[in-house]
Amino acid sequence: MSEQKREPFTNMKTYTPFHSRFDPCPPIGKKYYSTPPNLYLGFQPPNLEQFSPKEALKRGTLWKALYEYYENPYEGKRR
């Protein structure tokens, strides 16, 4: 499933909610939130690299800089 990740960094950030010793359930641990490229790009500059139309259709955008693959970060947390 991970073979699609090309970036060296991830667009997913984490935080850990405080867990009280009186909480009834085991702690969830890390909570994840997505910070996609549109937060960092600013006004799109001209001549950004494009995908081919076929690739673009699969990925949902023509622009490589705006593409972000999403997978369930809680995948391993089945109980």
Partner 1 sequence: MWFYEKKLQYPVRVSTCNPTLAKYLIEQYGGADGELAAALRYMNQRYTIPDPVVGLLNDIATEELSHLEMIATMVYKLTKDATPQQMRDAGLGDHYANHDSALFYHNAAGVPFTASYIQAKGDPIADLYEDIAAEEKARATYQWIINMSDDPDLNDGLRFLREREIVHSQRFREAVEIIIEERGKKTIF
Partner 2 sequence: MKQQLPDEFYQLLEEIQALDFAIVELTLYLDTHPKDLERMQQYNELAHQSRQLKQQFESKYGPLQQFGNSYTDANWGWGTYPWPWQI
Q: Catalog residues that contact partner 1 under the rule CB under 8 A.
A: 34, 36-38, 41, 43-44, 57-61, 63, 66-72, 74
- The minimum distance between CB 78 and partner 1, in angstroms, equals 11
Output the smallest distance, CB 68 to partner 1, in A. Answer: 6
Residue 69 binding result from partner 2, partner 1, none, given CB thresholds of 5 to 8 Å by partner type: partner 1
Stretch touching partner 2 by CB under 8 A, among 3-11, 19-27, 28-36, 60-68? 60-68
The answer to whether 23 and 17 have CB atoms below 8 angstroms apart is no
3-state secondary structure the chain: CHHHCCCCCCCEEEECCCCCCCCCCCCCCCEEEECCHHHCCCCCCCCCCECCHHHHHHHCCCEHHHCCCCCCCCCCCCC
Could you tell me the smallest distance in angstroms from the CB atom of residue 67 to partner 2?
11
